[in-house]
Amino acid sequence: MLLYRRGRLLGALIACALALAGCSSQIADLPGVGVPSDAPARPKEPGSYLPVNDLPPSRDEQVLDPKERAKIQAELSAVRDRQATAATPAKDGGANANASAK
């Protein structure tokens, strides 16, 4: 009997908790309960949906022709190779670098 009564009480508490959780947005709108005093004012109208189907405007600039593209790729490759050789340490263990620093 006691176990049955505790079960009913627990069920009633869970039902009340769920009912109050459903009203939480209205409770947050009460002036003294949910909103802090330094919170910004809410907008009068809710925000609109994002423009999912709107496409960006087409570009005015033309695509690079293959000769220009090959030229730019060659320049970038040359710069990359120069940086790679400058960044590799000397093969003599850096003895020249240490000697020049003294």
Instruction: Give the model confidence (pLDDT) of 18-45 as tens digits.
Output: 777 665 556 666 666 666 778 788 778 8
- Of the listed ranges 8-12, 46-50, 81-85, the least confidently predicted one is 46-50
Task: Report pTM.
Answer: 0.32
Q: For residue 3, tell me if it sits in a domain.
A: yes
Domain count, the chain: 1
Q: For residue 98, tell me if it sits in a domain.
A: no
Q: For residue 40, tell me if it sits in a domain.
A: no
**Host domain of residue 18:** 1-34
Helix (H, G, I), strand (E, B) or coil at 32: coil
CA distances from 83 to 10, 75, 77, 90 (A): 71, 12, 10, 14
CB atoms within 10 A of CB 34: 13
DSSP structural state of residue 76: H
pLDDT of residue 77: 97
